[in-house]
Structure 1
Amino acid sequence: MYKQKIEHVMLDFVNGRNTPSTIKDAMVYSLQAGGKRIRPILLLAVIEGYGKDIEAGMKTAAALEMIHTYSLIHDDLPSMDDDDLRRGKPTNHKVFGEAMAILAGDGLLTHSFQLIAEDELITSDQKIKLLGLLAKCAGPEGMVGGQVADIEGENKSLTVDELESVHVRKTGKLLIFSALAGAIISCASGAEQSKLEQFAHHIGLAFQIQDDILDIEGTEELIGKRTGSDEFKRKSTYPGLLSMDGAKEKLRFHLDKALSSLEELSMDTALLKQIAHLIVNRNH
């Protein structure tokens, strides 16, 4: 239910703008490529857990997924990960060319802030908090900075702490935004926000550990892109540093930490627990 609503909001917004057809087609192509939509679903799950109307968070959730999608378009470029497939389909630059793929990513990034700014279901104070937090989590202090560290970590042997620092930013910060945005829209207390941030921190690391495991144990058919790319690029991974058994033990550690962070919350945490288990047990 969440997933379809999020996709409707994204596509309705992009298709409703007065933009050149080529970039609109490129943006829509990647938005329609599928995906688990874990980040926006987490945001809405927090709102539902507090018993609030999820419609108040729908545009922020859609904006968050636009940012995630832009990051994937740019990650796939030849100058970055140089991937030909994303979710089983040709990557954006393979269909529209590198220049248009860059611009499609730029378009989704800037559209995301416009979508939140124009939301009539949240207060001006909430908009300011959300826009500032999203810029921090998605920008050089967060996801973009994590991508920089990831590139600079190629062909190097990182420590586990250094690897975690990469992934806290590259993957974890947008998940932290998901949880905190849901809390901001729900008017949750600072103490509750702190617990939700801890939850998101640990599921972000669990998400990346499972990604590393799937890059070795997964199949291209299920994952929708080539496997073994981390080894090819000589990237440090959790299985490489800890062994496969060690990585799986670390995965369980972060799942346990995430679940324990939920124990003192005043909300219904059932959906958050489901999301945590989904991240750990997914096969793609």
Structure 2
Amino acid sequence: MQEATTNDPGMLDSYTDGSTAGLRVACNYALSAEGKRVRPLLLLGSARAVTSQGVSSAALSAVSRAIEIVHIYSLIHDDLPAMDDDDMRRGKPSLHKAFDEATAILVGDGLQARAFELIADAPDISAEQKVRMVKILARAAGIRGMVGGQYTDIQAVDSDLGLEALQRMHMMKTGALIQASLALGGIAANASDEQLEALDKYGQHIGLAFQVVDDILDVESDEATLGKTKGKDAAANKPTYVTLLGLNGAKSEARRLLAMSLIELDSFGESADGLRDLARYLVKRDR
């Protein structure tokens, strides 16, 4: 199933007409940035974990591109001056710096819509599967997911947010789309309810671990490696896992969450080795 991935999440060629050619250029600028492609890999890994018979590569390619496009849209909007106000993303100027704020907003809006179009047009997937996928992705991207998490994050400036509240925020802002990625892969592979529940719990743990490691790297790494501005949360006086637990405490929490995520995969056997390897990478990564 690894073959279903691509180096980009869906470049736009003739998708726009001449009057919106500049918008296409801006879209492709965002889509061409190098990223870890964690969410498509999680989607593909979950599909592999629940089936030994294989799933249509064309179907998985379409849905994995959709999930990555939603992630990219969220980064574009998060970087805006009214939000996190970041000038760098994935090692190059944020979209609103390379173009302008209005273009960045419109690109984000357009990419989000494009993601759902990709799912609707995905081959070799039943209408029932598509409806389930659309509902899950819409919820993960909306007020009960990324949007709500980003709102809470903005409100957390100069606050005394505790550990439990911080975890809830990141389960929405980061974890929701990670869990959706796993669910969509499972649905594409006709996973059972029990399998989907195990994948969801794995996603909860690894989603939190991902953010814990982000907070650690924001202290220990450098901007060249991170590909984005370092220390933004600390400068904005936002609570992080490091400020609440200390550096060693945050590292211990990341290891604990990794162990919990691996336990959730016990019922899958070797078919989930890709997810196990990805979980270990996410905790040990340097960017």
Q: Distance in 2 between matches of 1:94 and 1:182?
A: 34
Matched residue of 1:134: which SS? helix
- Counterpart of 2:16, as a letter, is N
Relative contact order, higher structure (CA 8 A, sep 6+): 2
CA 1:85–1:139: 2 relative to 1, 3 Å:
same
Q: Distance in 1 between matches of 2:141 and 2:3?
A: 21
Residue matched to 1:279: 282
Deviation of 1:269 (Å): 1.0
Q: Is the 8 A contact 1:259 1:273 kept in 2?
A: yes
Residue matched to 2:116: 113
Residue matched to 2:229: 226
Deviation of 1:195 (Å): 0.4
Deviation of 1:53 (Å): 2.5
Q: Is the 8 A contact 1:3 1:37 kept in 2?
A: no
Please tell me whether residue 34 in structure 1 is matched to residue 34 in structure 2. yes
Please tell me whether residue 17 in structure 1 is matched to residue 15 in structure 2. yes
CA 1:194–1:72: 2 relative to 1, 3 Å:
same
Matched residue of 1:240: which SS? helix
Q: Is the 8 A contact 2:161 2:239 kept in 1?
A: yes
Q: Is the 8 A contact 1:48 1:54 kept in 2?
A: no
CA 1:8–1:234: 2 relative to 1, 3 Å:
closer
Which of 185, 190, 194 is the aligned partner of 1:187?
190
Please tell me whether residue 209 in structure 1 is matched to residue 207 in structure 2. no
- Counterpart of 1:17, as a letter, is Y
Deviation of 1:2 (Å): 4.3
CA 1:164–1:9: 2 relative to 1, 3 Å:
closer
**What is the TM-score of this pair, normalised by structure 1?**
0.96
CA 1:71–1:31: 2 relative to 1, 3 Å:
same
Q: What CA RMSD, in Å, does the superposition of the two structures yield over aligned residues?
A: 1.5
- Counterpart of 1:48, as a letter, is R
Deviation of 1:4 (Å): 8.4
Matched residue of 2:283: which SS? helix
Q: Is the 8 A contact 2:5 2:40 kept in 1?
A: no
Residue matched to 1:45: 45
Matched residue of 2:279: which SS? helix
Q: Distance in 2 between matches of 1:240 and 1:96?
A: 35
Q: Distance in 2 between matches of 1:269 and 1:180?
A: 14
Please tell me whether residue 94 in structure 1 is matched to residue 97 in structure 2. yes
CA 1:34–1:8: 2 relative to 1, 3 Å:
closer
Q: Distance in 2 between matches of 1:281 and 1:23?
A: 37
CA 1:241–1:61: 2 relative to 1, 3 Å:
same
Q: Distance in 1 between matches of 2:193 and 2:100?
A: 45
Which of 152, 168, 172 is the aligned partner of 2:155?
152
Q: Distance in 1 between matches of 2:270 and 2:194?
A: 13
Deviation of 1:266 (Å): 5.8
Q: Tell me the number of residue pairs that the alignment of Structure 1 and Structure 2 aligns.
A: 282
Which of 45, 63, 68 is the aligned partner of 2:66?
63
CA 1:39–1:3: 2 relative to 1, 3 Å:
farther
Range with bigger deviation, 43-52 or 27-36: 43-52
Q: Distance in 2 between matches of 1:260 and 1:207?
A: 17
Q: Is the 8 A contact 1:220 1:226 kept in 2?
A: yes
Cα deviation digits, residues 36-92 of structure 1 (max 9, x gap):
000011101111232323512110110010000000001111111111111110110
Which of 241, 254, 259 is the aligned partner of 1:256?
259
Question: 5+ unaligned residues in a row in structure 2: which ranges?
Answer: none
- Counterpart of 1:213, as a letter, is I
State the percentage of identical aligned residues.
40
Q: Is the 8 A contact 1:43 1:179 kept in 2?
A: yes
Residue matched to 1:246: 249
Deviation of 1:8 (Å): 4.8
Q: Distance in 1 between matches of 2:124 and 2:31?
A: 24
Cα deviation digits, residues 84-114 of structure 1 (max 9, x gap):
1111101100111000000000010000001
Question: 5+ unaligned residues in a row in structure 1: which ranges?
Answer: none
Residue matched to 2:268: 265
CA 1:9–1:281: 2 relative to 1, 3 Å:
closer
Q: Is the 8 A contact 1:203 1:258 kept in 2?
A: yes
